[in-house]
A and B are shown apart, each in its own frame.
Chain A
Amino acid sequence: MSSNRIMTVSRAISEAIAQEMRADPTVFIMGEDIGTYGGIFGATTGLLAEFGKERVRDTPISETGFIGAGVGAAMAGMRPIVELMFVDFFGVCMDAIYNLAAKNIYFSGGNYKVPMVIMTATGGGYSDAGQHSQTLHATFAHLPGLKVVAPSNAYDAKGLMISAIRDDSPVMFMFHKGLQGLAWMASPEGAASELPEEAYAIPFGEAKVVRPGKDVTIVSLSMMVHRSLDAAEELATQGIEAEVIDLRTIVPLDRKKVIESVRKTGRLVVVDEDYKSFGLTGEIIATVAEEDPTLLKAAPQRLAVPDVPIPYSRPMEQYVLPSADKIVAAVLTTMKKGA
């Protein structure tokens, strides 16, 4: 009998894929550098060695081609996992994602399934500049027909990836580069977690209260969960107990858990690494306002990247990204007014 391993997110994802590939011969994976290299962000480590190049296929730089092929293979009875190396690259292949993968179930009245996972790396903070640092949660969540998943830790990453592979609908699995636990990119302490050996599936549409509290609700996802938890620790020293909610999946979205929490605390701060306007932070606030604006004792606060391309230079990039300090400040702002 051995203790539980503490695994990085990248290994959790690779393990989830490997376990499903062992159990189901229709699962296969393709993408750029996912074979020998193991994925630029380590998400496919060890798969080529175990499963061989028929099922683990390095592709040419042809996103429209291979993501379109993923759709066709999914509709022909396979369960493809396709890696879009950086989410920022969606521009060259979005048609295959939002017009094909996302809509063919609907167009066929449910007669076809599209059991495809598109996994993609998001996030910045390491000076990769405007075309390699985006998060784009809302871009995919906004378009009907895609499920959208963004784990904050290894345990969730494994369980959500297994659910994604087993899902008969197309799933965007958005993993933050800075959470992967790669040796060459720092990751927060809480990203790696105890990881059970066996395969387990985490259902979509269930947000998690990762830190209970009575004074303010902080809603977040992905990397920003860790910033929120850091902020919550600091706030506790100031006598403020923050409740931190990790959304885990954006589509489907657990609106109920958010509303329940705000009903209890009366104050709301939403943190997202994506661009601010027309996105996730607005959606969470709208969810509460539509339910009952009187739940809020003070104006809600949102932290996101301001509506600018993500800058390269470190001081500028750090300026635009939400941080624990900024979250603390936002909480203090929303605590100032009202009871």
Chain B
Amino acid sequence: MPTKSQLLWMYEIMEKARYYEDTMAAAYMEGKSPKFDIGAGPLPGEMHLAAGQEPCAAAVCVHLRADDTVTATHRPHHAAIAKGVDLKKMTAEIFGKATGLGGGRGGHMHLLDPAVNFVCSGIIGEGAGPAVGAALAAKLKGSDAIAVSYIGEGAANQGGVHEALNLAALWKLPVVFIIEDNGWGISVPKSASTAVADNSVRAAGYGIPGSHVADNDTLTLFDLAEQAVNRARRGDGPTLIEVETYRYYGHFQGDPELYRPKGEVAALKAKDPIARLRRQIIGQGVTEEEANEALSKAKREVDEAFAFARAAAYPAPGDALTRVFA
């Protein structure tokens, strides 16, 4: 059961992540209308937003420490926020500025912050192996730090992910694998990509516990994640959790989503997980004032981060040649 402070923390993180993604969506379109030119504007390139997927980040990261590692996907912002990545440096990185996490070298899909052990990457399934490695490092060092690997339901069919699951199970490593099932691998629904309806059954193939969270429920995931994190910290090995979650935006911004049934997004928004959590936390001892204060604080931090990023300077072009090697 979450404590009051955990409930408030999760709520604030989810509001922060939601507002961040919505702000990013608007900013992304600057310079890209009337003609959508992907290379134009202050945010060129691809953009993959996680609005709707906030529970996956908040309900897991609430149990983590700074020395735990999180590897995330090409849709990373909510997880980065929940892990405590410096929001100003993260936003500056997404805007390609010199004061970004990577000095502008990585951008939105390659946000790396050693201060809180957060990394993400753009190749599907790629984070699973490194999460296993971080867990292995913790074990070899005698630390009880753990690793969390976020992958999508599409990535669950990638070979390297299965290798990572087997390796983590075989060597009994402290990894928690979280599958964010938002139902779509770009335009391909899960029913057309995956041989099983529920990925948690695959855990049995590796001799590890697996569980499934229906309908994007923050509090159910809170409990399952807590068990999985504790199991890992005890040295009892990995766990697989699949979360049925919602993708409000397209796969990438600019995705016309012609493949998506009409009304699907509206139906998901009608049962929005943040609104749901807010009702739940008010009922469990958080006051309206405290919730409103958390929301204001969240928005303020996001606004400050975006202002910081916009005002920041671009790197010198020649910086492109630096920081290749350590």
Contacts and interface: CB of A to CB of B under 8 A. Distances in A.
Partners in one complex: yes
Given A73-B134, A76-B134, A60 B326 contact: no
Contact of B326 (A107, A114, A144): A114
Contacts of A250: none
A307 to B, nearest CB: 29
B112 A65 contact: no
Contacts of B58: none
A62 B166 contact: yes
Interface stretch (A11-19, A93-101, A182-190, A227-235): A93-101
Interface string B147-186: 1000000000001100110110011000000000000000
Contact of A69 (B101, B104, B133): B133
A96 B129 contact: yes
B106 interface: yes
B116 to A, nearest CB: 12
A171 to B, nearest CB: 10
B70 to A, nearest CB: 11
Interface string B218-252: 00000000000000000000000000000000000
A108 B132 CA distance: 20
A144 B324 contact: yes
Contact of B126 (A55, A60, A96): A96
B324 A72 contact: no
Interface residues of A, number: 49
B82 interface: no
A105 interface: yes
B131 interface: yes
A84 B166 CA distance: 19
Given A65-B166, A69-B129, A72-B129, A109 B134 contact: no
Given A109-B100, A168-B326, A65 B160 contact: yes
B136 interface: yes
Interface stretch (B117-125, B264-272, B274-282): B117-125
B102 A109 contact: yes
Interface in A52-75: 54-55, 57, 59-60, 62-75
A107 B130 contact: no
A74 B164 CA distance: 16
A113 B140 CA distance: 19
Size category, B interface: 35 or more
Given A78-B137, A106-B105, A69 B130 contact: yes
A33 B158 CA distance: 25
Given A66-B129, A96-B129, A72 B71 contact: yes
Contact of B119 (A75, A110, A168): A75
A41 interface: no
B75 interface: no
B68 to A, nearest CB: 11
A70 B130 CA distance: 7
Nearest to A144: B324
A59 B134 contact: no
A100 B324 contact: no
B132 A107 contact: no
Chain B CB within 10 A, most for which of A54, A67, A108, A167 = A108
Interface string B296-326: 0000000000000000000000000011111
Contact of B106 (A60, A65, A108, A144): A108
Contact of A106 (B123, B147, B163, B323): B323
B211 interface: no
B114 A108 contact: yes
A28 interface: yes
B100 A72 contact: no
Contact of A68 (B114, B132, B137): B132
A80 B133 contact: yes
Nearest to B110: A107
A76 B117 contact: yes
B69 interface: yes
Given A65-B166, A108-B112, 9 more contacts: A26-B140, A60-B166, A60-B167, A65-B128, A69-B133, A69-B167, A78-B140, A108-B102, A109-B104
Interface of B: 69, 71, 100-106, 110, 112-114, 117, 119, 121, 123, 126, 128-138, 140-141, 147, 159-160, 163-164, 166-167, 170-171, 322-326
- Closest CB pairs A-B (n = 7): A68-B129, A72-B133, A65-B163, A72-B130, A168-B326, A64-B160, A62-B163
